[in-house]
Structure 1
């Protein structure tokens, strides 16, 4: 019986690039693509059951993400049967068993050497091929994509949703149009097969998405190739919107919450972050189980809050903590985030643009109305007159949260704020957020990676552009200067660009998070190159 075959991969001119041995069922999946449900990819936490739990809880690997990314050498059923047979033997060694039955996930090439004599822009352009992955199918949790893509860097072996937009800003500055096209098409493929864009192209991420930047990605491509790009990707934009708005029809005054939609007392509909699976995250399994036990709260609720925070991309931050201090009080799904709703406002306006191209006046009016309703509701519920700042809204307590964050700048980025509000936000940024290396994400020092003293490239870009939209050019220029300076200085001293920076004590590395500081790094490279390319 034929169990595996060699696939030859060729380029468009017919030149053979490489060959890869793959099981027959993977070949069938790869050839048929979207004709087969992508959910058929193995979810290791489900397929491997007790074995998965034991490996993660016993910390067989230092990084909890390693085992979910491992490649099984036979079917999960066969491996589980062997585990049941062998686990009670006196000389049984769990790690040895795993290494016998799984191939470790491929490690990124480590032979790249930085040349700090090069300008940082040249370094970034040299890194694009290093961070680019080819779409080789494998029998693992990895969801095969049809085109090459850029990974963030460091420990990551797959594409990530919101990271990719900021990476694409750099690709745009570098003139890497084909790679931008590939990445937009990969995300479109995920929308068409999964039904939405998951956190990353892993089966264990299919319970959640990430901040909806797809419309902004399409617009990067539109700026390069012309207005018809919007029309081409209109159906996928529509599907993404339907994913975020799913459950709206079931909302009532007595049942105001469903999936990612929330009905507020005045009948307004806004969105929250969520995850479909109330379970520990496979890539942080032991950590999530331990935290849920420590809280003494309902475990499924804690898991959902943790996963929803992962959907936000801000994992973790005091934005999601009831006490504003500790992860044990996380309650993400109780919160209406200002950044998520600003992004969905932009998606609604984009769908109205698509309707204009399709000469569909009815849809144009509908999406403009939805955008206007969202804007009105977001400002009504999230603008704090007391704080003179946009804050997330806790719909369980019917009041804004106590944690100011850079998420407020999304309303400036999408031009949703009044001039007076924007001026007040800028003032707060200058007094509470601006540090020698850039803007901190929140002023709170909690030890979490999305709190002080750390700063992240995507939020610098959103803030700088938002300030420029309201003629706050002096502050925007200062933020840009501080950020470019710390990026460049760290590169000159270490040869690296990293995922986050300590912008208060700029001589120290950033900390916090569930894994060591990563280098690479997609969105840092993208934002820095875009800023450096500005006239």
Structure 2
């Protein structure tokens, strides 16, 4: 038997790439968010200055000592899992060895809470070398937090391992009297198969894996029969592996069974290996965790961290890289700086000089950004600068800049996106990631000030188009989280955000070309020229092929001719106008918008603008003394003015978009002067914005909801509206049978606001069930969108570019931004009964049908 590893810093990171802290570089500590922790930060955005910025005062970044844990003093920064305490120098105090040659500090007394290791610690703590994961509370009082985090230990997902609830699970002091009482009250069950029933004195079994690499290889060889480095219900292996117990140092073997536990084992081994671990102790509770708790924990503690970015001198190289563009000019990372941000230009020049191997190119943007200029950058695209704050290094006294944190959606979408950011902010705020949500508002203020709009994303090829506007609501919810009325700096933050939102409202959404003067409603109608460069190379082949044949050239040759304006094709110009509109809408792509988007006054956009008008009225009345002078155009308005705008828009929406007979808010074609009939889940955005009447809401619940509610929640559109599919008419990802997190979230909130919380709860259960089932059956997967009509593999989406979040090896580390939020938000609608049902993966209809009559009312059944 191999002895447990006595690890030092050298042995732990031997053969591993080190970062500046001498820790192995893994997918948990990628250098996207490098900070100088020993710094004072002053909040002075690089956006256009005003008096509000200076009023906010300094922000302080306190230094953190990674060599200590609150409550237990210094711990080793290099000791392995299970190592002992350290002396004041930080070195490991090696304990005397016992007669078998094993160090005493590796002997885990599972009967004592004094050596309790939180089985649900973050991966960085549980496996990482920076912090010792062992907790050492000496009483129930000091252990409360740890006990609370683990009190929901559940029976094994295979229904065959743990047959009783332990004292630890109940949060009891593990005294002899309590153990005797538990044994006295223990109900006997049929004995399970070999070694499946092994319960320690605390009911918290722990494994010792003496060779992580070998165990990982054996597990994959046995269970990953389709060789995709995942263990799912589609694999045909025996679904069992023997793992050694910690008490016997791996000598006694116990069966771990079932897809869920085995896939979790694969995930934990993959993570441990990424941290340079060769041997580990592993709590069974960690691989047998209730899936609802596990997914919530991963989203809160892991996924958000891995999706968070912050621009610094050392991270800009990785952040600026773009995997979507394959041109020779896109090979080197590049960043574009607004013409009037000299401090940022100097900062990024410094970054390029610090590491010439990055080949970072830094360029100024012109004062006037035209569609022609944006098209000229298609071959040499780059990242667009966003808001930064001044940092004072106390060790040198010199000033530098650092970016505000922000979250990216995930997968191929590695930038600051528009409406994705709002939806992620909802989840980030629920999980106390307030700084990231606030940072994204700061970036949007900067984008409006310097680029004229909140961009689709901060890449050069997005300069001409925006995305659905959510800044007012986003600023308000962040404002409340950072202190609200009791915090002067929060008020200044809110006022800056609303100044930017009013500028965006006037200059982007209610001006040419987006405003239709006849209806007074707005359309997704961005500027731009040529073929969108960020799409897959073959995305437009079907459209371009007839034109290539017309000119007797190859597709590649025709693309160049068209982009260089060497040929004139008005029909193609109009097609790409609508295509850019679809991308600005966020619903790219759907047959709802194909060939008409720029001419549609949509219910989603006009609902959001109604919300802007109401929010602006509220803020002007309460925070601008009911009189707002616009510095951009010199006008002065009151809250009453904005309320009147909202009421006018509400009346126009009812006139042009509402269909009483069908119970839908449809879109209106301003060119053809007629209402469409495409049945979309965006009809519920009218409820989210609060513009529908109570009578309209009731009609929607009675008529539109039945057409859109399916197994996994709300489908993006009805099957009838989508129409038949064929080789020449393939599926679109924002159409039936796919469902998206934004549609669920807005419907839940809107229905609840109008008194239909039971329906919201029912739809939320459907969505959460689908997510949980895929998570359990498919190796912890969380993806961008789902086929909400499939009960077995809803993550499998064949439309367009497939599904983001599905392509991982061993362990999913990010999920997908707004889907992560939807899970956290959806659980707020669930009571304990529903959470238990989700944890057991009970499908919606069996769950609903088994409810008592009075319980069915909770779900409006």
TM-score tier after normalising by the smaller chain length: 0.7 to 0.9
2:662, 2:704 within 8 Å by CA — same for their partners in 1? no
Task: Work out the CA distance in 1 between the residues paired with 2:459 and 2:816.
Answer: 20
Deviates more, 1:300-309 or 1:231-240: 231-240
Name the counterpart of 2:523.
272
Q: TM-score, normalised by structure 2?
A: 0.46
Distance change (3 Å), C-alpha of 1:312 and 1:116: farther
Task: Work out the CA distance in 2 between the residues paired with 1:154 and 1:277.
Answer: 26
List aligned pairs for 1:245-264, cutoff 5 A: 245=509, 247=511, 258-264=512-518
Q: 1:124 aligns with which of 299, 324, 327?
A: 299
Name the counterpart of 2:707.
432
The reply on whether 1:418 has 2:693 as its aligned counterpart is yes
The reply on whether 1:458 has 2:781 as its aligned counterpart is no
Question: RMSD of the alignment, in Å?
Answer: 2.6
Task: Work out the CA distance in 2 between the residues paired with 1:529 and 1:152.
Answer: 16
Q: Work out which structure has the larger RCO, using CA pairs closer than 8 Å and 6 or more positions apart in sequence.
A: 1
The reply on whether 1:360 has 2:626 as its aligned counterpart is yes
Please state how far the C-alpha of 1:241 moved relative to its aligned partner. 0.8
Deviates more, 1:442-451 or 1:138-147: 138-147
The reply on whether 1:393 has 2:568 as its aligned counterpart is no
CA distances 1:313-340 after superposition (whole Å, capped 9, x unpaired): 001112114xxxxxxxx21111110010
Task: Work out the CA distance in 2 between the residues paired with 1:332 and 1:263.
Answer: 17
Name the counterpart of 1:530.
825
Task: Work out the CA distance in 2 between the residues paired with 1:464 and 1:495.
Answer: 25
Q: 2:654 aligns with which of 371, 375, 379?
A: 379
1:269, 1:374 within 8 Å by CA — same for their partners in 2? yes
Distance change (3 Å), C-alpha of 1:295 and 1:166: farther
CA distances 1:252-275 after superposition (whole Å, capped 9, x unpaired): xxxxxx3111022xxx41100022
Name the counterpart of 1:105.
none
CA distances 1:225-254 after superposition (whole Å, capped 9, x unpaired): 31424323221111221232453xxxxxxx
CA distances 1:475-503 after superposition (whole Å, capped 9, x unpaired): 21110110111111111222121110111
Task: Work out the CA distance in 2 between the residues paired with 1:282 and 1:112.
Answer: 36
Aligned residues between the structures: 419
List aligned pairs for 1:170-249, cutoff 5 A: 170-224=427-481, 225-227=483-485, 228=491, 229-245=493-509, 247=511
Task: Work out the CA distance in 1 between the residues paired with 2:698 and 2:679.
Answer: 16
The reply on whether 1:300 has 2:573 as its aligned counterpart is yes
SS of the aligned residue for 1:283 comes to coil
Deviates more, 1:511-520 or 1:175-184: 511-520
Task: Work out the CA distance in 2 between the residues paired with 1:112 and 1:240.
Answer: 44
Distance change (3 Å), C-alpha of 1:123 and 1:189: same
Unaligned runs of 5+ in 2: 1-32, 50-269, 275-285, 321-332, 335-381, 389-403, 486-490, 548-569, 628-636, 726-730, 806-814, 832-861
The reply on whether 1:11 has 2:36 as its aligned counterpart is yes
2:712, 2:788 within 8 Å by CA — same for their partners in 1? yes
Task: Work out the CA distance in 2 between the residues paired with 1:178 and 1:127.
Answer: 16
Task: Work out the CA distance in 2 between the residues paired with 1:371 and 1:440.
Answer: 29
The reply on whether 1:477 has 2:743 as its aligned counterpart is no
Please state how far the C-alpha of 1:295 moved relative to its aligned partner. 7.5
Structure 1 runs, 4 residues or longer, greater than 6 Å off: 113-116
Name the counterpart of 1:407.
682
2:783, 2:804 within 8 Å by CA — same for their partners in 1? yes
1:486, 1:506 within 8 Å by CA — same for their partners in 2? yes
Distance change (3 Å), C-alpha of 1:470 and 1:517: same
SS of the aligned residue for 1:271 comes to coil
The reply on whether 1:166 has 2:166 as its aligned counterpart is no
Please state how far the C-alpha of 1:364 moved relative to its aligned partner. 1.5
Name the counterpart of 1:144.
385
Please state how far the C-alpha of 1:513 moved relative to its aligned partner. 4.2
SS of the aligned residue for 1:377 comes to helix
Please state how far the C-alpha of 1:406 moved relative to its aligned partner. 0.8
Task: Work out the CA distance in 2 between the residues paired with 1:394 and 1:270.
Answer: 11
Please state how far the C-alpha of 1:510 moved relative to its aligned partner. 4.2
Q: TM-score, normalised by structure 1?
A: 0.73
1:116, 1:492 within 8 Å by CA — same for their partners in 2? no
